[in-house]
Amino acid sequence: MSRLKVGFTGYYGMRNFGDDLFGVLCTAAARRYWNAEPLLVGPRLHGADARATWPARLPMHWYGSTGHVGRVSRLLGFARGLRESDVLVMGGGSVMTGRESFRKPMMLSARRRGRVELAAVGVSVGPFADSSGERSVAQFVRQFSYLSVRDRRSFELAQGMGLDPILHEGRDLAGLLRVLYPPSEMPTAATSRTLRIGLAPCRYSVRPDHAAPTPDQWQDTAVEALAQLSARLPIHVVLFSLNSHPHHGDDALANSLQQSLREAGVKVEMRRYRGDPLATAQAIRGCNAFVSARLHGAIVAYLTDVPFAIVDYHPKCRDFADDIALPRDARITEGSHDVGAFRAMLEELLNADALRAGLSPDVYAQQAPDIFQCAPWSNSLPSAHRAA
């Protein structure tokens, strides 16, 4: 019998660490748990053992461009992914929202013609601006064979949308990192006296339905707190730009933050994401503490045993923090961290036993394979189940 052909679609190849990590983990998990032949709908990803729809001979930056070339590239690649897959899987991210996309009608058309089954793994559902958006997504997802959501809020929302027959309460796909690429195989923080503090900004806008500090507010506080801390501790800041897309990435923000830290007398180095998600995960593992506005900077720190704090700027950040019972003092929220509190938080993070999540990363990772093992195409039984 021929192997199951599975296409994975997401925001892969768009120069964002979290999305590229999804692609790498999905392809590895499909081989292990579904005995499938994976296909990336988009460019090849460093570290992914899979074919891709984007021709290797063409410049990769064309795929993620905002102009006509980028749009046509993505459309043609998606059509190829549908044509060459038995199952098309939306792999990771905040993709089940009311936002319209050219992908939806193409997926439904292929599904109606019996050419492909549809699924989604490691995704969040909502939030929705209105009830019509929720109804539209519910109608769309009812055509799926399987839906694994990554947080409790999404699970409860999907239940309310009548999706129980296909629904699985899973974890974020990044949980598979600890299973497929164990922390024991990654370098830890250096044993020298220097304390490496990772900092990952994000160019976000504050949502009207989710109170949060602006990027400038928390970053200005971080600079002053780090300056005070560096006066008495041997700290070295590693500044991670985890999204290097030229139009909506973090490079310009990271450059400005680097300059502010230098002017404040803080030792700092820049690490820009350049398309190797596993190497970036290793670099995060090499920190003694990590503060992240990027969700998957925080999740990877958690999974690689690095004490971390998260900037709670979006419901997806709060969903993750709630799911792992992250202490309130490790959440940077609107008005919750003045300079003194931020400095105290950093000191606690550098104390290896402080501000740890209530849920062990081992438990989170043990449950992550169920994302794939509970699917109809699994070749193995689920390895773990979440307690009721």
Q: How many domains does the chain have?
A: 2
Q: Is residue 386 part of a domain?
A: no
Q: Is residue 178 part of a domain?
A: no
Helix (H, G, I), strand (E, B) or coil at 6: strand
**pLDDT at position 353, please?**
73
Whether 141 and 287 share a structural domain: no
Strands (E), 218-341: 235-241, 268-272, 289-292, 308-311, 331-332
Closest among 371, 321, 317 to 119, alpha carbons compared: 371
Mean local confidence (pLDDT), 86-105? 88
pLDDT tens digit sequence for 208-256 = 989 999 999 999 999 999 999 999 999 999 999 999 988 889 999 999 9
Kindly tell me the burial class for residue 334, based on how many C-beta atoms sit within 10 Å of its own C-beta (0-12, 13-18, 19 or more).
middle
Mean local confidence (pLDDT), 101-128? 92
Whether 68 and 105 share a structural domain: yes
Q: Looking at the predicted structure, is the pLDDT value of residue 364 above 90?
A: yes
Taking all residues of the chain, what is their mean pLDDT, rounded to a whole number?
92
Whether 112 and 152 share a structural domain: yes
Q: Is residue 215 part of a domain?
A: yes
Q: Is residue 388 part of a domain?
A: no
Mean local confidence (pLDDT), 249-272? 97
**pLDDT at position 387, please?**
44
CA gap 388, 274 in Å, rounded? 41
Q: Looking at the predicted structure, is the pLDDT value of residue 186 above 70?
A: no
Whether 213 and 164 share a structural domain: no
DSSP state of 240: E
Whether 59 and 164 share a structural domain: yes
Mean local confidence (pLDDT), 365-388? 82
**pLDDT at position 314, please?**
93
Q: Looking at the predicted structure, is the pLDDT value of residue 384 above 80?
A: no
Closest among 6, 22, 2 to 14, alpha carbons compared: 22
pLDDT tens digit sequence for 7-27 = 999 999 889 999 999 999 999
Q: Are 39 and 85 in contact (CB under 8 A)?
A: yes
Pairing of strands 235-241, 195-200: parallel
Around Cβ 205, how many Cβ atoms within 10 Å? 10
Segments forming the whole domain that contains residue 237: 186-359
Whether 137 and 209 share a structural domain: no
CA gap 331, 319 in Å, rounded? 12
Q: Looking at the predicted structure, is the pLDDT value of residue 388 above 70?
A: no
For 221, the enclosing helix (H) or strand (E) is helix 215-230
Helix (H, G, I), strand (E, B) or coil at 163: coil
Whether 219 and 338 share a structural domain: yes
Which strands make up the sheet holding 235-241, listed edge to edge? 268-272, 235-241, 195-200, 289-292, 308-311, 331-332
Q: Is residue 334 part of a domain?
A: yes
Instruction: Provide CB contacts within 8 A for 50, sequence distance 6+.
Output: 8, 27, 38, 39, 40, 44
Q: Is residue 99 part of a domain?
A: yes
Mean local confidence (pLDDT), 70-77? 85
CA gap 6, 31 in Å, rounded? 10
CA gap 106, 320 in Å, rounded? 31
Q: Looking at the predicted structure, is the pLDDT value of residue 189 above 60?
A: no
Mean local confidence (pLDDT), 353-369? 93
What spatial distance separates the first Cα and last Cα of the chain, rounded to whole Å? 38
Whether 224 and 118 share a structural domain: no
CATH code of the domain covering residue 75: 3.40.50
CATH code of the domain covering residue 190: 3.40.50.2000
Whether 340 and 207 share a structural domain: yes
Q: Are 190 and 283 in contact (CB under 8 A)?
A: no
Of 71-75, 289-293, 301-305, least confident by mean pLDDT is 71-75
**pLDDT at position 140, please?**
94
Whether 131 and 275 share a structural domain: no
Strands (E), 185-277: 195-200, 235-241, 268-272
Q: Is residue 273 part of a domain?
A: yes
Q: How much of the chain, in percent, has pLDDT values that exceed 70?
A: 96
**pLDDT at position 97, please?**
82
Q: Is residue 384 part of a domain?
A: no
Closest among 355, 383, 356 to 369, alpha carbons compared: 383
Q: Looking at the predicted structure, is the pLDDT value of residue 381 above 90?
A: no
**pLDDT at position 337, please?**
82
**pLDDT at position 313, please?**
96
Of 32-41, 73-82, 260-269, 316-325, least confident by mean pLDDT is 73-82
Q: Looking at the predicted structure, is the pLDDT value of residue 187 above 70?
A: no
Q: Is the peptide bond before 234 cis (omega within 30 degrees of 0)?
A: no
Strands (E), the chain: 4-9, 36-40, 51-52, 87-96, 117-125, 146-149, 167-169, 195-200, 235-241, 268-272, 289-292, 308-311, 331-332
**pLDDT at position 100, please?**
74
Tell me how many degrees the CA angle 214-216-218 measures, rounded to the nearest 5.
Answer: 75
Whether 299 and 161 share a structural domain: no
pLDDT tens digit sequence for 300-338 = 999 999 999 999 999 999 999 999 999 999 999 998 889
pLDDT tens digit sequence for 35-68 = 999 999 999 999 999 999 988 888 877 787 777 8
Whether 102 and 10 share a structural domain: yes
